[in-house]
Structure 1
Amino acid sequence: MTEEFTHVDADGDAQMVDVGEKADTQRRAVARGEIRLSTATLDAISADDIGKGDVLTTARIGAIQAVKHTWETIPMCHQIPITNVETDFSVGDGAVECTVAVETVGKTGCEMEALEGVTTGLNVVWDMVKASEKDDDGQYPTAAIEDVRVVEKTKSALGE
């Protein structure tokens, strides 16, 4: 298999991929990740007892905003029409898990948007709870954003 880098031109300069000739298709991408937190912080999130406010609602809004603005932060991403965003945050054993599903109809995929949604959603969780995570030495021994990945990517012809 020959690997061709499509984000560089013949001179090696960065370029955006031309998708103009590609057919519009229905596309979906799902990404997932988690932020590991202390039990006390997770309990406070579940009880809606974080001083900054409702952590998961704020994170959900941040994730959706990130999806909509991915093209502004990832240099070679196309601005695509987002047709749907689904976010799910769950407080589990040792972590808050975030899943973001993005759908579009267009000429290019939406996995970067799903990844941006997850990472921003988890960053918002961190921002909301960081004061709760600090130990007596001013360190954050438990908190870590981990395992951010695309878990699904599909495309199908329109009308299928």
Structure 2
Amino acid sequence: MIEELSHLDTEGRAKMVDVSIKEPTCREASAQASIEMSEELLELVKSNKVAKGDIFSVSKCAGIMAAKQTSMLIPLCHQIPLDEVELDFYIEKDRIVIKTFTRAYSKTGVEMEALTAASVAALTIYDMCKAVDKGIIISEIKLLKKVGGKSGNFCRENRV
């Protein structure tokens, strides 16, 4: 069954969803982004020899800052007082995987905040590393899990 799009009015125009009558509940979300890069660059990253500095500290701060500003970046997104934002980085064979987690006691979900954190952290890594490898690919930006709210829980692992 396809759900009705909540950000459209009866004439199909964009609108911000009214959440005023909803009760706040604990909302959580996790997301990820992948950054593929050359072997040469990945070696520089592993040895913390990227010219612009510690890419993980800087991109973690960028991701947290972005999550807190999501409503300024995404039209119709509610401003949510986040209680927690976490970013973890995993170095794999030819890529870095960023996993994010967001939590708030809110009337609406924090999926966009988790996705924004992953996206901006990936863009920050790209910016800090582009001098070495212009062929960097940012991909697989996706919601992994969502907990709470009227639409229920979602887990990508359990998706058919």
CA RMSD of aligned residues (A): 1.2
- TM-superposition CA deviations, 1:58-115 (whole Å, max 9, x none): 1101100110000001001000110001110122210011011000001000000000
Q: Which amino acid aligns with 1:155?
A: G
Shift of 1:10: 2.2
Q: Tell me the distance in 2 between the aligned counterparts of 1:100 and 1:63.
A: 9
Match of 1:137 in 2: none
State the distance in 1 between where 2:27 and 2:141 align.
20
Aligned twin of 2:96: 96
| Rg larger in structure | 1
Ranges of 4+ aligned residues in structure 1 off by more than 4 Å: none
Q: What is the aligned partner in structure 2 of residue 147 from structure 1?
A: 140
Q: Count matched residues.
A: 149
- For structure 2, the residue ranges without an aligned partner over 5 or more in a row are 150-160
Residue 126 in structure 1 maps to residue 119 in structure 2: no
Percent identical pairs in the alignment equals 35
Distance 2:108 2:14 in 1: 18
Q: Aligned pair 1:44/2:49, yes or no?
A: no
The whole-number CA distance in structure 2 between the counterparts of 1:68 and 1:11 is: 32
TM-score by length of 2: 0.89
CA distance in 2, matches of 1:94, 1:103: 30
User: Which structure 1 segments of 5+ residues have no match?
Assistant: 135-139
